Amino acid sequence: MENEFSEYKMHPDKKAPVLIVGGGISGLTAALFLLKHGITPLLIERHKSTSIHPRARGFDIRTMELYRELQLSEQIREAGRALAPAWGIHTNASLATALKNKKPRNREVKSPIATKGLEELAAQSPEVGARCTQDLSEPVLLAAAKQREAEILFNTELIAFERNDKCVIAIIRNRETGQEQTIHADYMIAADGAKSIIRETLQANTIGKGVLGSLLNIYFEADLADFVKGREFSILRIKDQEIKGFMTSINNTDRWVFHLYYDIAKGEKPEDFTDARITKILEKVVGLPEIKIRIISILPWQPTVKVVAEMQHGRIFLAGDAAHVMTPYGGKGANTGVQDVHNLAWKLAAVIHGKASPELLHTYNKEREPVGLHNAEQSGKMADEYGLLKKINWKIFGSFLLVMLVGVLKLKKLFPRLAMGKAGGLVGLPDYKYPTPICDEKMKTTPYAKTGLLNAEPGTRVPHIWVEYNHEKISTLDLLGKDFVLFTGTDNKVWKEATDNINNKMQIIIPIYSIGAKGNLVYNEKSIKEVFGIGETGAVLVRPDGFVAWRYKQQPLNHSDSLFKIFHAILFIRE
Ligand SMILES: Cc1cc2nc3c(=O)[nH]c(=O)nc-3n(C[C@H](O)[C@H](O)[C@H](O)COP(=O)(O)OP(=O)(O)OC[C@H]3O[C@@H](n4cnc5c(N)ncnc54)[C@H](O)[C@@H]3O)c2cc1C
């Protein structure tokens, strides 16, 4: 791709601070976070619309925290409302036999986080995960990005690019008119999915088990509303001599997906599966002769574990599936992409606005590569020899049982650390710790580091607590997203001077909030020491992405100078 490039003119038709390639979940979310930080990106998407296929069906807690930050969490939840009660996994010969003896429930089904025993885990976030298929979530993101004035070109693909020290030069083509344009972008985000051309062109090294199987993702219509009502499920694994696969619910009424395994070792190919043959298979899977089945679309795909060793290539950043392909088991694919671009957006904005050195951008790989690798590897462990979902993953099942038992027995001392360690990541709480928020340039990427607790330790997501602010109940997370923020004890006079000093010298505004019965964030439940690990004169500095950059347990001797130095270190500014 890069070789063809030299023929093209070097004068740009358009300039952009950031070019985003790919209008899937990762690309659209990147656009929204960049807009939030005052950067108007150019996003190109080769298809003429967002995904028409349901694909990812769920967002975890952390992703919903991020959509809350964009004021989109309720819209996403609403868009996916029909799927919300779809929980639980069955294994049976058909849907008919799986549900035959199941009595309809007479209570509302909630997500696993609402299970008895997990209350303290749920209390770590103002959000819960949400069900929403990609064909419904992407339009919500697109509408918001358009309304917030992102420049978005559909039907437009990247056909060549070159990078140098100053910019990325990209050739894009309108697939309808054939018209080509040259874009000069300060930075490019490769959000071009699992088959990323950008990743291939860069010849990025990858690690991981690779392809685990070959499946057809069959999206079909069957009116099963009455049959399923009250007995909604997430996944039905089919136990049959001839058919290997699993069915998933899409809207609990008339839309479903069946993932059908085919054996390439036996020479089977997607083309062998005619509509008539697939309809027969689906009829057997559903097992209700009176139900009419109509195939909507078929998407061949391969559950794969493949992760790039380096997410940054000069001015190009790989994100989402372009950086880490994982199986859908555990539901982390789209979530990891959303969380990548959240980590990247504030850093790009700080560098583009001249507030940080470009060295800050190296922390993107150091922080996100271990998370992508961990999530991909875990998803691979949930797959069986055909690349299908394993019957029971004892490690996960056992972890949940143990956490619930300890929760139900109210072993309060043991619970928080154990629950976060065993089940936090599964439900989507950020259970990891970034290597160090104050990164030294020479520091190597470290493996995924689990944190026992979200207790304001540097490198972890700042604790969520409900507080009263200006007579309103809000979460501490509601104060984050744009600026660095300083949470302090109630004795915070010196911190006001320190933040003013930074504002004067570096033109960086740092909102400051004191927490306590007499703080501007009114909080009486526990002491600030218990929740944030600081005394009344202490302070916790939080990055725009909600991760703790630094913590002063008590006021240091030279607080003003100290905070100033910390900022220089975080933003890699050398005097
Ligand atoms: C069957 C299935 C079920 C899944 N279930 C889940 C789940 O439950 N939870 C979960 O978190 N994840 C799930 N996933 C994974 C999830 O779909 C992906 O992780 C997610 O779509 C990744 O988003 P992305 O934006 O990184 O990539 P994509 O959604 O693949 O988007 C990439 C975009 O880039 C565009 N593009 C590519 N090349 C170019 C180019 N040259 N120029 C312009 N545009 C280009 C593509 O058209 C595409 O729209 C599932 C995946 C599959 C296949």
Q: Tell me how long the chain is.
A: 575
The token pair that represents 414 in the structure block: 């043991």
Does residue 145 have its Cβ closer than 6 Å to ligand 1? no
Q: Give me the pLDDT at residue 450, please.
A: 82
Pocket test for ligand 1, best of 1, 19, 46, 201 (most atoms within 8 A of CB): 46
CA 22 to ligand 1 centroid distance, Å: 9
Work out the number of other CB atoms within 10 angstroms of the CB of residue 60: 28
Q: How confident is the model at residue 500 (pLDDT cuts 50, 70, 90)?
A: very high
Atom of ligand 1 nearest to the CA of 156: 43
pLDDT of 548 higher than 70: yes
Atom of ligand 1 nearest to the CA of 192: 34
Residue ranges of E strands in 36-179: 42-44, 58-59, 89-92, 130-131, 151-153, 156-163, 168-174
Q: How confident is the model at residue 3 (pLDDT cuts 50, 70, 90)?
A: very low
**Lowest-pLDDT range, 19-28, 31-40, 292-301, 412-421?**
412-421
Give residue-wise pLDDT tens across range 278-318: 999 999 999 999 999 999 999 999 999 999 999 999 999 99
Does residue 217 have its Cβ closer than 6 Å to ligand 1? yes
By the 8 A CB rule, do 59 and 130 touch? yes
By the 8 A CB rule, do 321 and 194 touch? yes
Does residue 193 have its Cβ closer than 6 Å to ligand 1? yes
Q: How many CA atoms lie within 13 A of 540 on its CB side?
A: 31
The token pair that represents 108 in the structure block: 């509302």
DSSP string across 509-535: ---EEEEETTSSEE--SS-HHHHHS--
Q: Give me the pLDDT at residue 558, please.
A: 82
Does residue 255 have its Cβ closer than 6 Å to ligand 1? no
Q: How far apart are CA 89 and CA 568, in angstroms?
A: 50
CA 321 to ligand 1 centroid distance, Å: 6
The token pair that represents 448 in the structure block: 């995924």
Which residue shows structure tokens 């990812």? Answer: 56
Does residue 53 have its Cβ closer than 6 Å to ligand 1? no
Does residue 173 have its Cβ closer than 6 Å to ligand 1? no
Protein residue closest via CA to atom 52 of ligand 1: 55
Q: How confident is the model at residue 86 (pLDDT cuts 50, 70, 90)?
A: confident
CA 83 to ligand 1 centroid distance, Å: 20
Residue ranges of E strands in 423-532: 466-469, 472-475, 485-488, 512-516, 521-522
Q: How confident is the model at residue 453 (pLDDT cuts 50, 70, 90)?
A: confident
CA 141 to ligand 1 centroid distance, Å: 14
Protein residue closest via CA to atom 17 of ligand 1: 56
Q: What is the 3-state secondary structure (H, E, C) of 51-66?
A: CCCCCCCEECHHHHHH
Give residue-wise pLDDT tens across range 193-210: 999 999 999 999 999 999
Pocket test for ligand 1, best of 183, 192, 340, 342 (most atoms within 8 A of CB): 192
What are the CA-CA distances from residue 563 to residues 179, 383, 460, 484, 532 (Å)? Answer: 52, 48, 19, 12, 18
Work out the number of other CB atoms within 10 angstroms of the CB of residue 119: 15
